[in-house]
């Protein structure tokens, strides 16, 4: 993230316009996903309203102690606020079974005790010592091992032999089956990335790692090779960080430190052909809206 004047020092009158300019860029890929997923604007608008209310209650609790205060803070009327504070049953949460499935799969492929001599995730008995059940319990006690196994099998990341032996399948936790299966990791990764970036903008000094490398004078072949290099570097970093996280968890247990914090560390790469047609600039005219 480029350095600049902290938001607290900017002219307050310029903040809404500056935020909306940034939002226009951030929302473009989101709008692409919504259109591809068949989500009409009205449904997306409902989700944005709920996000406004949830963010106000979580991050501005002193200013959101009542429906009236929430209404002032968000710009939504009190009737809408009351409606929007009702729970949404199917909302994706960070404690989902798929999330824990990803964590179990990562432990299986990275932690030495679950790998064979060649470094591959070894086949595991369903139950007993050194079993799949033990693997799951080493990661989480919040979901039944049977539920985690069912999810991994559904996603094509595990299979079970007739004798009950569980095998890992694939080299990365990315479902190749269903469009909907890929939305969970997308939501979790983008949420935490956005939370880190927003916190850095709002704080007097950046509190989180949030950096990127940018090059705009490459051929398509060079861009592909650079992305492959990033994948290789990420695999090494991924394995090292999981080993370090395991060591720190053991240290926390030994010292009796409260374990209530979570950390997500990621890396991304994106490339595009700059000769592709640019999207039309937003504007108030009928011609702009028709485009």
Q: Could you say which DSSP state residue 250 is in?
A: H
Q: pLDDT per residue over 47-72, tens digit each? A: 899 999 999 999 999 888 899 999 99
Q: Could you say which DSSP state residue 162 is in?
A: T
Q: Could you say which DSSP state residue 115 is in?
A: B
Collect all residues with Cβ–Cβ distance below 8 Å to 227 and sequence separation of at least 6.
269, 271
Q: pLDDT per residue over 215-260, tens digit each? A: 988 999 999 999 999 999 999 999 999 999 999 999 999 999 999 9
Name which of 103-112, 185-194, 229-238, 277-286 the model is least confident about. 277-286
Question: Which is higher by pLDDT, 221 or 13?
Answer: 221
Name which of 2-6, 33-37, 60-64, 125-129 the model is least confident about. 2-6
Read off the pLDDT of each residue in 94-98 and give the average, rounded to a whole number.
55
pLDDT at 117 over 50: yes
d(CA 183, CA 92): 9
């Amino acid at each position: 993230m480029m350095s600049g004047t902290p938001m607290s020092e900017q002219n307050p009158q310029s903040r809404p316009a500056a935020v909306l300019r940034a939002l226009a860029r951030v929302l473009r890929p989101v709008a692409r996903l919504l259109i591809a997923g068949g989500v009409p604007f009205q449904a997306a608008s409902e989700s944005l309203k709920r996000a406004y209310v949830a963010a106000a209650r979580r991050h501005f609790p002193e200013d959101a102690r009542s429906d009236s205060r929430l209404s002032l803070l968000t710009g939504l009327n009190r009737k809408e606020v009351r409606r929007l504070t009702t729970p949404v049953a199917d909302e994706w949460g960070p404690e989902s079974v798929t999330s824990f499935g990803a964590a179990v799969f990562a432990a299986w492929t990275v932690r030495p005790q679950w790998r064979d001599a060649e470094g591959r995730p070894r086949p595991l008995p369903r139950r007993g010592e050194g079993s799949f059940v033990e693997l799951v319990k080493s990661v989480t006690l919040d979901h039944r091992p049977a539920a985690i196994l069912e999810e991994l099998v559904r996603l094509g990341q595990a299979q079970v032999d007739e004798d009950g032996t569980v095998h890992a399948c694939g080299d990365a936790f990315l479902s190749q089956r269903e469009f909907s299966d890929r939305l969970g990791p997308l939501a979790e990764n983008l949420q935490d990335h956005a939370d880190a970036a927003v916190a850095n903008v709002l704080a007097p000094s950046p509190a989180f790692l949030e950096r990127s490398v940018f090059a705009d004078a490459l051929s398509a072949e060079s861009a592909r090779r650079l992305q492959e290099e990033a994948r290789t570097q990420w695999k090494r970093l991924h394995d090292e960080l999981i080993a370090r996280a395991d060591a720190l968890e053991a240290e926390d247990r030994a010292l009796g430190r409260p374990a209530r914090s979570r950390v997500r560390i990621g890396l991304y790469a994106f490339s595009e052909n700059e000769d592709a047609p640019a999207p039309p600039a937003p504007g108030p005219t009928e011609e702009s809206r028709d485009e």
